[in-house]
């Protein structure tokens, strides 16, 4: 190797001077990415297509509101969709006036609440009209509603929810309970501040007044509504059935058949003794209920096959597979339970048979199919209290109804 030349201090200074005199251009960035600002106050949980679908739905609803409220109030009204947008819960509340007419609604089948708000400019003219007054809106003061006015406003709310049910074909809008009524939105705290909601605003106009109707719908309800409107749920075709059956191959599900139920209180339960007979809700001529993994799915007809073995013939699918919620009672002596929990509802179910069944068999069940059980016709039946096996007994006939006679307790 040759000897490396070491620069002197003078040569280094000359080199630095030369570099300083040249225009050094920074390297060009080939892939330039556009920076897009993000508004954290407006969470984008829905796509533009989904928002467009919602706008079409609520635009159609505005026409139903106009027609229904013209009939309801017996005057000419106009209803215009102002906006359908994604907001967080806190921002929606801040957009509402004070005082106002605000409802928190618990919609059946959902674990979240919906907010419906009528501004004073929209609700007071309707209240005055319902009460038969001809008072001008200009004479009305922006103030909280009185108790009587709240009762009248309840009728307005009910008409609005019925109208939404009629226009969207979503029956759950009509199945609601009023959780609370407030004049100040700041007192409402049902969601976290950043929880996204869909805000729907209508302008409600009469001859001499106008005001806003605002609705905050949680995403849980919105997604259900979108699936109904767009029909986006995947159809269970032969191909999807084949794929799903493959996934659940060698996987077993519990299939249970029930002849009826009997709602009970703790006092009723304590009073049961060996030989007691309870009259069940189902008639002997009615079909029995077939459940899969605890969910009611089919209606069946009780019978027998072979050498006296129980069987159920599938008659059709159930439209409502809703489960009931129950209150758990802690262990205590009979008197304390009777005094404290008397009136608390329980459910007693009588099971005639059960078996393990593969998914592919469940997916192909249709009218006329027969499910065969190993249990003999004369075998004792199991009685369940809140889903817990608590007693044994026999099915008996009580007029045109089934009955259950207790024999032993577990």
Range of the domain at 225: 48-230
* Residue 16 placed within a domain: no
Q: Are residues 199 and 245 in the same domain?
A: no
What are all long-range contacts of 28-36, with beta carbons under 8 Å and residues at least 24 apart? none
d(CA 245, CA 122): 55
* Residue 33 placed within a domain: no
Q: Are residues 79 and 143 in the same domain?
A: yes
Structure tokens at 407: 């024999």
Q: Are residues 243 and 225 in the same domain?
A: no
Q: What is the pLDDT of residues 138-156, one digit of tens each?
A: 455 689 999 999 999 999 9
* Residue 12 placed within a domain: no
CATH of the domain at 186: 3.40.1550.10
Q: Are residues 280 and 173 in the same domain?
A: no
Q: Are residues 248 and 133 in the same domain?
A: no
d(CA 250, CA 252): 6
> What sign does the CA torsion over 394, 398, 400, 402 have?
negative
d(CA 159, CA 271): 46
30-44, 174-188, 210-224, 334-348: segment of lowest average pLDDT:
334-348
Q: Are residues 290 and 350 in the same domain?
A: yes
d(CA 208, CA 231): 41
* Residue 363 placed within a domain: yes
Non-local CB neighbours of 324 within 8 Å, separated by 6+ positions: 347
* Residue 109 placed within a domain: yes
Question: Which of 230, 264, 295 lies at the terminal end of a domain, its last residue?
Answer: 230
Q: Are residues 258 and 339 in the same domain?
A: yes
103-112, 130-139, 390-399: segment of lowest average pLDDT:
130-139
Q: Say what percent of the chain tops pLDDT 70.
A: 76
Cα dist from 276 to 138, 217, 229, 283, 391, whole Å = 70, 50, 51, 19, 12
Non-local CB neighbours of 86 within 8 Å, separated by 6+ positions: 42, 43, 44, 45, 46, 51, 196, 197, 198, 199
Q: Are residues 283 and 225 in the same domain?
A: no
Question: Which of 210, 230, 250 lies at the terminal end of a domain, its last residue?
Answer: 230
Asked if 359 and 245 touch (Cβ cutoff 8 Å), the reply is yes
Task: Give residue 386's region: left, alpha or beta (phi > 0; psi -120 to 50).
Answer: left
Q: Are residues 293 and 368 in the same domain?
A: yes
Q: Are residues 348 and 294 in the same domain?
A: yes
Q: Are residues 250 and 362 in the same domain?
A: yes
Asked if 208 and 137 touch (Cβ cutoff 8 Å), the reply is yes
d(CA 115, CA 103): 6
83-87, 206-210, 219-223, 289-293: segment of lowest average pLDDT:
289-293
The whole-number pLDDT of residue 297 equals 76
Indicate if the pLDDT at residue 269 is higher than 70.
Answer: yes
Domains identified in the chain, total number: 2
* Residue 307 placed within a domain: yes
335 pLDDT tier (thresholds 50, 70, 90): very low
Structure tokens at 400: 């045109």
Question: Which of 178, 199, 230 lies at the terminal end of a domain, its last residue?
Answer: 230
Q: Are residues 96 and 143 in the same domain?
A: yes
Closest to 261 in 3D by CA, of 289, 285, 233, 225:
289
* Residue 11 placed within a domain: no
Asked if 221 and 110 touch (Cβ cutoff 8 Å), the reply is yes
The whole-number pLDDT of residue 324 equals 36
* Residue 92 placed within a domain: yes
Q: What is the pLDDT of residues 281-319, one digit of tens each?
A: 766 666 788 887 777 777 888 888 887 788 888 887 776
The whole-number pLDDT of residue 321 equals 44
């Amino acid at each position: 190797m040759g000897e490396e030349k070491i620069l002197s201090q003078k040569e280094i200074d000359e080199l630095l001077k030369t570099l300083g005199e040249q225009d050094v251009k920074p390297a060009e960035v080939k892939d330039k990415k556009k920076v897009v600002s993000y508004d954290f106050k407006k969470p984008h949980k829905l796509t533009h297509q989904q928002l467009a679908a919602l706008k079409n739905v609520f635009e159609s609803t505005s026409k139903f509101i106009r027609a229904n409220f013209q009939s309801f109030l017996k005057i000419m009204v106009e209803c215009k969709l102002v906006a359908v947008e994604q907001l967080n819960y806190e921002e929606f509340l801040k957009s509402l006036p004070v005082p106002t007419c605000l409802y928190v609604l618990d919609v059946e089948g959902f674990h979240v609440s919906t907010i419906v708000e009528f501004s004073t400019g929209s609700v007071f003219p309707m209240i005055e009209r319902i009460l038969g007054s001809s008072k001008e809106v200009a004479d009305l003061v922006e103030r909280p509603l009185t108790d009587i006015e709240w009762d009248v406003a309840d009728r307005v709310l009910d008409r609005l929810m019925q109208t939404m049910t009629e226009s969207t074909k979503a029956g759950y809008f009509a199945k609601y309970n009023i959780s609370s009524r407030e004049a100040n939105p700041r007192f409402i705290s049902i969601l976290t501040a950043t929880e996204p909601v869909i805000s729907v605003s209508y302008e409600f106009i009469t001859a001499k007044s106008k005001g806003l109707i605002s609705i905050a719908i949680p995403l849980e309800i919105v997604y259900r509504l979108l699936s109904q409107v767009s029909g986006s749920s995947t159809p269970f075709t032969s191909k999807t059935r084949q794929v799903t059956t493959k996934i659940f191959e060698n996987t077993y599900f519990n299939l249970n058949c029930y002849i009826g139920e009997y709602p009970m209180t703790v006092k009723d339960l304590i009073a049961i003794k060996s030989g007691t007979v309870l009259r069940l809700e189902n008639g002997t001529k009615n079909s029995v209920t077939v459940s899969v993994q605890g969910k009611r799915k089919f209606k069946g007809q009780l019978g027998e096959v072979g050498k006296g073995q129980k069987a159920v013939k599938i008659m059709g699918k159930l439209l409502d597979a809703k489960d009931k919620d129950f209150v758990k009672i802690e262990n205590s002596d009979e008197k304390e339970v009777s005094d404290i929990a008397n009136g608390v509802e329980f459910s007693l179910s009588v099971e005639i048979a059960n078996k393990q069944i593969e998914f592919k068999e469940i997916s192909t069940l249709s009218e006329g199919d027969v499910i065969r059980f190993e249990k003999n016709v004369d075998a004792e039946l199991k009685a369940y209290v809140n889903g817990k096996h608590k007693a044994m007994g026999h099915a008996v006939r009580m007029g045109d109804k089934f009955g259950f006679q207790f024999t032993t307790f577990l």
